[in-house]
């Protein structure tokens, strides 16, 4: 299918973006990589008279460290993130996730911000960014506001972003010494059936854990039952507690049978993957928060 | 690698640099573009179509609907005349063409589709074959209009008043008596899904009515079948219909016989302009697919594993139109026999209409479905009798010259040799990979290619010594042009680089049955030999006149002829003969069922076989299968182009990994719910086994030049049962339903553990 004719805009600044958006309102959509939007337009699921290409907007580009946060600009592609020395050094688990997003064509064009804004549930980044306690900075003509990743995705294809807001950047806390994160996913189709993200944070010899599921629900799900069950349990003792906690928690996830698998299979995968992710995260934490999987 | 020629596939550089011309690159003067509006309903009456708004859009040239084709002979088919050129009054599957727009460009055409409104009245529908043959099932077609010997030999046997469009029965011995006498009987049902061909090039056709008739640039694998169907639909003589077949980006049967050609031609006829229609991949998914099958197999054995009797019952889901399904149903029964001595055999097969994408030929028609069932059961029997899977096969294997069925050509290969080679190679591979835990699975496949011995070719020897090969063998990526080039050079004793194989064009290339069923290298090769013999005769006669020599003493040599030590170039000889330094010799080569003293008439022409062995590892927690090693062995008689032949073998196997591991077109409430490349997973390089060994046995025992057999389809046969057998051997999980998705594998392993 072909794109329905539209007017293309290439603003060079955020002011210009908002000016153009203000002029066209609901008839306009912004895009960067276009890997999600253009597909939807070609399939004629969506229709816009005006497309605003953000790629010339300098304020949205760049990957850098500011204080204790890694800042990923809205124009950074999955491929740039995966291959950025800054990301690999400061948030290695996220670099590893980026390297496995979809396929090389999607990684080369698609941006992390676009992925988050689209909020397709079968997606890799949200659960790990939730486990890492990342923050999204949204910008609008009225100014900026920060929204925690954990609160950003409301349901499938629905986010906390207002009509007149853009994602400007994603801020991820730098993985410190004694911290480790990991992401594990599984699926036999193009997109993940289930994803699981884990963080292991050692403070003065005591561990705490962060566990999130992705793709299985319509937004990232915090595995609080498992977190509670294993709170304070040293990594070496996890095998005594974790399998049962993971199984019980996963069994409670509300999910429907679909092409990715039956509900009980996806719950099982969630249990398996969260255990694998946590094992990898603990190992990474032990390697002093350095190179991890 | 013993290939002597420097470049195994001279067209590869052009392909990877984008220079190869496909139909989508062809520009015909005055050409406009067509798009198709498709049915959203599985079964409905078309109460009305309003295209007035579309016709008013700037750039829209014509709209074609069922009402337009009333003037044509508007139903066609190669077994049953069941398919309308475009839907007339009724649609029978989601995706069926209902209206078409011709417009100045594709974008306008697509926009115009949205301006067409169709009023449907939904009808009860059926998408499952088992339900389709129940008495209460809605009828997909009320009547069955069969055609005999139209393009395939014989006739389909539909059952009036039902959805059954083909029945096939065969029996020798007394199966029931033998079952009663057997120590053990094993019976089970095996399921094989609908599979999409996924040629990288979707269907693409350009049609143009000109003063000298109708010309099509078609992606079809069978140009002369397309020519014949168009001749009937438009009431035009064959001589006024011309089919040109540029490079085709993969066929696999999805472009065999006739597909979108009548539809595109009808739009060109309505628009009075040349029209180009190129489908998207998703549209090709709604155009043809492999027939899904339920296959019940019962085998009676002695306790030592000797087979006493086997009965096979096949039910195939043929979709909304029969297409080549009647042939597929017959082959699915025959190909379930296996390379074994079976003294009592009963085969039953049935194909039914459903409200789904039409089923069609697909690489080894019916073969993967049949071998999936029968070779899975061989291992189940072995396990129950505590026999090694190789031992039970060995015990029952036919030797070369023994009959699979008394009425068929005896098997012409040693399957035991192929199996032994597979075992030896796999043992080596696993020894070199001792670090990983893998399990071995074996399967054997034999198939009876449905080859019509009807082919012809034109050779044109030019005065400069160059040779043009003019045939209708279509280059679909299998490398047929290079094979024909080499065989022509060999037959005329000329270097390969003086031979040019032309783009097939029915206006100049003589009749050939089609490109498929592993037949082109073999059949066209025999035709080339016939034509080359004629060229030699002509040359000898000319030499006798011009040089006053005994024609018997004239030999072909590089660039010309030799009479003893005396040499003349073709140019010198023909210059002397024609009196000018210009001219050519033309010869035609022909193969018919009467060629080679009638030896080509017996079915099958040869047995296409494969022994497959795999080593798999499974992640028991997710159920993911990893096929780490694979060995594929076949006696192909003779290899003409080794790299290309091995490529065919590897390609067939990896294609088989698709239906083994992930591929399945899924229907829900009458809708195909995963007919896009995002939700339907075809193997990528990630699924290709780490180690892959192809062994092509060159026994020289085939019916073709130098003893060649056809090849390119056999390797797909054993893949699925070999993997399932490895899974059962290693994890105790026997799965009888493809694909072996991670979920099915995980469930089977879990159920096994809970037992």
Write down the pLDDT at residue B8: 58
pLDDT digits (tens, 9 = 90+) for B244-286: 999 999 999 999 999 999 999 999 999 999 999 999 999 999 9
Report DSSP state, residue B704: S
Report the gap between the CA of A139 and the closest CA in chain B (Å). 33
Q: Is the dihedral of CA B229, B234, B238, B240 positive or negative?
A: negative
Spatial contact of B627 and B727, defined as CB atoms under 8 Å apart:
no
Of B7-21, B160-174, B482-496, least confident by mean pLDDT is B7-21
Poorest-pLDDT segment among A36-50, B110-124, B199-213, B305-319: A36-50
How close A241 comes to chain B (CA, Å)?
18
Q: B418-451, pLDDT tens digit by residue?
A: 999 999 999 999 999 888 899 999 999 999 998 8
Identify whether the C-beta of residue B633 lies closer than 8 Å to the C-beta of residue B646: no
B287 to chain A nearest CA, in Å? 16
Q: Which residues in chain A have Cβ-Cβ distances shorter than 8 Å to B680?
A: 189
Instruction: Encode pLDDT of B156-195 as tens digits.
Output: 999 999 999 999 999 999 999 999 999 999 999 999 999 9
B624, B681, B747: residue with CB nearest A190: B681
Mean pLDDT on B96-112: 97
Residue of chain A minimizing CA distance to B283? A1
Asked if the C-beta of A194 comes within 8 angstroms of chain B's C-beta atoms, the answer is no
| Closest Cα in chain A to B674 | A259
Contacts with B71 (C-beta within 8 Å, 6 or more apart), sequence order: none
pLDDT of residue B736: 98
Which of A186, A260, A265 has the highest number of chain B CBs within 10 A, making it the mutation to test binding with B? A265
Question: What's the pLDDT at B9?
Answer: 65
Specify the pLDDT at position A288: 58
Does position B18 have pLDDT exceeding 60, yes or no? Answer: yes
- What's residue B15's pLDDT? 87
What does the CA dihedral B15, B16, B17, B23 come to, rounded to 10 degrees? 30
Q: What is the pLDDT of residues B597-623, one digit of tens each?
A: 988 989 999 999 999 999 999 999 999
The reply to whether residue A265 touches residue B743, judged by beta carbons under 8 angstroms, is: yes
Domains of chain B: 12-123+200-250+254-285 (3.90.1170.50), 408-450+603-755 (3.30.365.10), 455-598 (3.30.365.10)
User: Which chain A residue has its CA at the smallest distance from B114's CA?
Assistant: A44
Give the CA diameter of chain A: 60
Across the interface, of A2, A44, A259, the residue whose CB is closest to B107 is A2
Q: Is A40 on the interface with B (CB under 8 A)?
A: no
Average pLDDT, chain B: 96
Chain A residue with Cα closest to B741? A188
CATH architecture of A58-173: 2-Layer Sandwich (3.30)
Mean local confidence (pLDDT), B693-705: 97
Predicted confidence band of residue A115 (pLDDT cuts 50, 70, 90): very high
Domain A7-53 maps to which CATH number in 3.10.20.30, 3.40.50.720, 3.30.43.10, 3.40.50.2300?
3.30.43.10
Question: Residue B577 and residue B546: Cα distance in Å, rounded?
Answer: 6
Q: Name every chain B residue with its beta carbon within 8 A of the beta carbon of A44.
A: 114
Q: Of A36, A255, A106, A75, which is closest to residue A170 (Cα–Cα)?
A: A75
- pLDDT band, residue A2 (cuts 50/70/90): confident
Mutate to test the interface with B, among A6, A41, A259 (most CBs of B within 10 A): A259
- State the Cα–Cα distance between residues B604 and B702, nearest whole angstrom: 12
Q: In this complex, is the C-beta atom of B506 within 8 Å of any C-beta atom belonging to chain A?
A: no
- Mean pLDDT of chain A, nearest integer: 95
Query: Nearest-CA residue of chain A relative to B282?
Result: A1
Give the pLDDT score at B7. 59
Q: Which helix or strand (DSSP H or E) is residue B557 part of? A: strand B554-557
How far CA B427 is from CA of B391, B422, B430, B615, in Å, comes to 16, 8, 5, 10
Please report which confidence band the pLDDT of residue A5 belongs to, taking 50, 70 and 90 as the band edges.
confident
- The values of phi and psi at residue A188, to 5°, are -110, 5
Whether B107 contacts chain A with CB within 8 A: yes
pLDDT of residue B3: 39
Residues 6+ apart with CB under 8 A from B134: none
At A253, the pLDDT band (50, 70, 90 cuts) reads very high
pLDDT-above-70 percentage for chain B: 99
Q: How do residues B109-128 score in pLDDT, each as one tens digit?
A: 999 999 999 999 999 999 99
Q: How far apart are CA B342 and CA A127, in angstroms?
A: 58
- pLDDT at position B11 is 77
- Res B575 pLDDT > 50: yes
Is B110 in contact with A2 (Cβ distance < 8 A)? yes
Max Cα–Cα distance, chain B, nearest Å: 90
Contact B678 A186 (CB under 8 A): no
Q: Residues B235, B30: contact at Cβ < 8 Å?
A: no
Cβ-defined contact of B747 to A265 (cutoff 8 Å) = yes
CATH H-level, domain A179-286: superfamily: CO dehydrogenase flavoprotein, C-terminal domain (3.30.390.50)
Is the minimum CB–CB distance between B741 and chain A shorter than 8 Å?
Answer: yes
Q: What is the pLDDT of residues A266-289, one digit of tens each?
A: 999 999 999 999 999 999 999 854
Contact of B624 with chain A, judged by CB distance below 8 Å, is answered with yes
Closest chain B residue to A266 measured between Cα atoms?
A: B743
A98-105: Cβ within 8 A, 24+ apart: A98/A125, A100/A124, A100/A185, A101/A125, A102/A35, A102/A78, A102/A190, A102/A191, A103/A190, A104/A79
pLDDT tens per residue, range A144-156: 999 999 999 999 9
Interface membership of A195 toward B (CB under 8 Å): no
Q: With an 8 Å Cβ cutoff, is A1 touching chain B?
A: yes
Task: Please give the average per-residue pLDDT across B65-91, as a whole number.
Answer: 97
Whether A17 has its CB under 8 Å from any CB of chain B: the answer is no
Determine whether the interchain pair A188/B621 forms a contact, defined as Cβ–Cβ distance below 8 Å. Answer: no
Token digits of residue B246: 């540029």
Q: Cβ(B79)–Cβ(B327) under 8 Å?
A: yes
Q: What is the pLDDT of residue B358?
A: 98
Residue found under tokens 């709604």: B286
User: Tell me: the pLDDT tens digits for A65-104?
Assistant: 999 999 999 999 999 999 999 999 999 999 999 999 999 9
Interchain pair B678, A1: CB under 8 A = no
**Interface check A261 vs B, CB under 8 A:** yes
Chain A residues with CB inside 8 Å of B742's CB? Answer: 186, 188, 261
Q: What are the residues facing A140 on neighbouring strands?
A: A143
d(CA B90, CA B138): 14
Among candidates B107, B622, B679 on the partner chain, residue whose Cβ is nearest the Cβ of A259? B679
Q: Is A259 on the interface with B (CB under 8 A)?
A: yes
- Find the helix or strand (DSSP H, E) in which B332 lies: helix B325-334
* Domain residue extents for chain A: 7-53, 58-173, 179-286
pLDDT band at A293 (very low <50, low <70, confident <90, very high): very low
Nearest to B622 among A186, A189, A262 (CB): A186
* Region class of A85: left (phi > 0), else alpha (psi between -120 and 50), else beta: alpha
> How close does chain A come to B694, measured CA to CA in Å?
27
Closest CA in chain B for residue A2:
B107
pLDDT for the residue B16: 87
Q: Cβ–Cβ of B107/A261 closer than 8 Å?
A: no
Question: Which one of B40, B103, B621 would you mutate to disrupt binding with A, by most A Cβ within 10 Å of its Cβ?
Answer: B621
CB pair distance less than 8 Å for B666 and A1: no
- A292 pLDDT band, cuts 50/70/90, is very low
Say if the Cβ atoms of B110 and A1 lie within 8 Å: yes
pLDDT at A43: 85
In angstroms, the separation between the Cα of residue A238 and the nearest Cα of chain B is 18
B717 to chain A nearest CA, in Å? 23
C-alpha angle B4-B7-B8 in degrees, rounded to nearest 5: 80
Flag if B678 and A191 touch (Cβ within 8 Å).
Answer: yes
- Residues contacting residue B536 through CB under 8 Å, at least 6 positions apart: B492, B556
8 Å CB contact of A259 and B111: no
| Lowest-confidence pick of A204-208, B406-410, B736-740 | A204-208
- In A, which residues are within 8 Å of B741 by CB distance? 188, 261
Distance from CA of B680 to the nearest CA of A (A): 7
Q: What is the mean pLDDT of residues B189-213?
A: 97
pLDDT average, residue stretch A12-16:
97
Count Cβ–Cβ pairs < 8 Å, chain A vs chain B. Answer: 42
């Amino acid at each position: 299918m072909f794109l329905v004719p539209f007017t293309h805009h290439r603003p060079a600044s955020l002011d210009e973006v908002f000016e153009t958006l203000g002029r066209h309102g609901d008839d306009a959509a912004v895009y960067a990589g276009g890997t999600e939007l253009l597909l939807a337009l070609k399939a004629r699921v969506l229709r816009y008279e005006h497309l605003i290409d953000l790629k010339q907007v300098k304020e949205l580009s760049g990957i850098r460290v500011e204080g204790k946060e890694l800042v990923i600009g809205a124009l950074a592609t999955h491929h740039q993130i995966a291959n950025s020395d800054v990301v690999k050094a400061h948030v290695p688990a996220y670099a590893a996730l980026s390297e496995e997003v979809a396929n090389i064509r999607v990684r080369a064009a698609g941006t992390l911000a676009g992925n988050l804004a689209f909020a397709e549930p079968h997606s890799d980044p949200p659960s790990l960014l939730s486990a890492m306690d990342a923050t999204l900075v949204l910008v609008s003509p009225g100014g900026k506001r920060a929204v925690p990743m954990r609160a950003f995705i409301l349901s499938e294809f629905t986010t906390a972003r207002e009509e007149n807001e853009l994602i400007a950047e994603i801020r991820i806390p730098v993985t410190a010494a004694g911290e480790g994160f990991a992401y594990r996913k599984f699926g036999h189709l193009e997109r993940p059936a289930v994803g699981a993200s884990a963080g292991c944070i050692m403070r003065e010899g005591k561990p705490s854990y962060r566990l999130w599921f992705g793709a299985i629900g319509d937004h990232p799900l915090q595995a609080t039952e498992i977190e509670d069950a294993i709170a304070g349990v040293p990594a070496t003792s996890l095998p005594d507690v974790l399998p049962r906690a993971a199984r019980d928690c996963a069994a409670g996830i509300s999910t429907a049978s679909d092409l990715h698998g039956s509900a009980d299979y996806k719950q099982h995968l969630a249990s398996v993957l969260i255990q694998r992710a946590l094992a990898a995260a603990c190992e990474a934490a032990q390697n002093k928060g350095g190179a991890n999987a | 690698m013993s290939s002597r020629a420097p470049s195994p596939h001279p067209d590869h550089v052009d392909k990877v640099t984008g220079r190869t011309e496909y139909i989508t690159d062809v520009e015909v003067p005055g050409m406009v573009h067509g798009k198709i509006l498709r049915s959203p309903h599985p079964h409905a009456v078309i109460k009305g179509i309003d295209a007035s708004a579309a016709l008013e859009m700037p750039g829209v040239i014509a709209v074609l609907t069922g009402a337009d084709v009333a003037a044509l002979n508007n139903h066609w088919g190669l077994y049953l005349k069941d398919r309308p050129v475009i839907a007339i009054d009724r649609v029978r599957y989601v995706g069926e063409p209902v209206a078409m727009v011709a417009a100045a460009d594709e974008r306008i055409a697509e926009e115009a589709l949205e301006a067409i409104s169709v009023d449907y009245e939904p009808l009860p529908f059926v998408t499952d074959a088992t339900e389709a043959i129940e008495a209460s099932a809605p009828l997909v077609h009320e009547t069955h209009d069969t055609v005999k010997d139209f393009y395939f030999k014989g006739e389909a046997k539909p059952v009036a008043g039902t959805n059954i469009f083909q029945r096939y029965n065969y029996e020798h011995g007394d199966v029931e008596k033998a079952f009663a006498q057997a120590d053990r009987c094993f019976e089970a049902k095996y399921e094989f899904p609908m599979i999409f061909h996924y040629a990288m090039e979707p269907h693409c056709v350009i049609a143009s009515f000109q003063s000298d008739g109708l010309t099509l640039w078609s992606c079809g694998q069978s140009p002369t079948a397309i020519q014949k169907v168009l001749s009937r639909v438009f009431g035009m003589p064959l001589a006024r219909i011309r089919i040109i077949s540029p490079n085709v980006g993969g066929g696999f049967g999805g472009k065999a016989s006739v597909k979108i050609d009548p539809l595109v031609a009808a739009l060109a006829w309505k628009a009075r302009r040349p029209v180009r229609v190129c489908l998207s991949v998703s549209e090709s998914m709604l155009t043809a697919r492999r027939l899904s099958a339920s296959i019940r197999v019962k085998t009676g054995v002695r306790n030592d594993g000797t087979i006493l009797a086997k009965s096979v019952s096949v039910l195939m889901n043929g979709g909304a139109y029969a297409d080549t399904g009647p042939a597929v149903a017959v082959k699915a029964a025959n190909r379930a026999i296996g390379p074994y001595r079976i003294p009592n055999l009963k085969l039953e097969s049935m194909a039914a209409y459903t409200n789904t994408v039409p089923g069609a030929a697909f690489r080894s028609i019916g073969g993967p479905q049949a071998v999936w069932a029968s070779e899975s059961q061989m291992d189940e029997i072995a396990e129950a009798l505590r026999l090694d899977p190789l031992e039970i096969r060995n015990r029952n294997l036919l030797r070369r010259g023994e009959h699979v069925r008394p009425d068929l050509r005896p098997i012409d290969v040693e399957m035991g040799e192929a199996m032994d080679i597979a075992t030896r190679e796999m043992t080596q591979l696993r020894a070199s990979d001792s670090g990983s835990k893998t399990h071995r699975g074996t399967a054997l496949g034999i198939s009876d290619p449905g080859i019509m011995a009807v082919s012809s070719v034109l050779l044109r020897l030019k005065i400069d010594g160059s040779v043009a090969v003019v045939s209708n063998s279509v280059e679909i990526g299998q490398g047929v042009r290079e094979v024909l080039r080499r065989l022509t050079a060999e037959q005329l004793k000329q270097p390969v680089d003086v031979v040019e194989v032309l783009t097939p064009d029915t206006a100049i290339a003589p009749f050939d049955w089609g490109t498929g069923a592993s037949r082109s290298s073999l059949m066209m090769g025999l035709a080339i030999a016939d034509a080359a013999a004629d060229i030699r005769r002509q040359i000898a006669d000319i030499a006798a006149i011009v040089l006053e020599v005994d024609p018997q003493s004239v030999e072909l040599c590089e660039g010309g002829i030799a009479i003893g030590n005396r040499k003349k170039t073709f140019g010198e000889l023909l210059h002397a003969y024609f009196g000018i330094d210009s001219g050519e010799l033309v010869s035609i080569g022909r193969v018919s069922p009467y060629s080679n003293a009638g030896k080509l008439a017996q079915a099958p022409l040869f047995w296409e076989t494969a022994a497959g062995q795999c080593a798999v590892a499974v992640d028991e927690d997710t159920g993911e299968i990893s096929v780490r090693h694979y060995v594929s062995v076949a006696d192909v008689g003779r290899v003409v182009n080794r790299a290309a032949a091995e490529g065919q073998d590897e390609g067939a196997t990896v294609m088989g990994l698709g239906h083994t591991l992930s591929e399945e077109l899924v229907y829900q409430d009458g809708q195909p719910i995963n007919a896009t490349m995002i939700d339907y997973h075809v193997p990528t390089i990630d699924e290709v086994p780490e180690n892959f060994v192809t062994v092509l046995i060159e026994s020289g025992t085939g019916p073709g030049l130098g003893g060649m057999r056809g090849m390119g389809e056999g390797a797909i046969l054993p893949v699925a049962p070999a993997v399932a057998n490895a899974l059962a051997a290693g994890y105790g999980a026997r799965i009888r339903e493809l694909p072996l998705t991670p979920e099915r594998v995980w469930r089977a392993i879990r159920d096994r553990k809970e037992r």
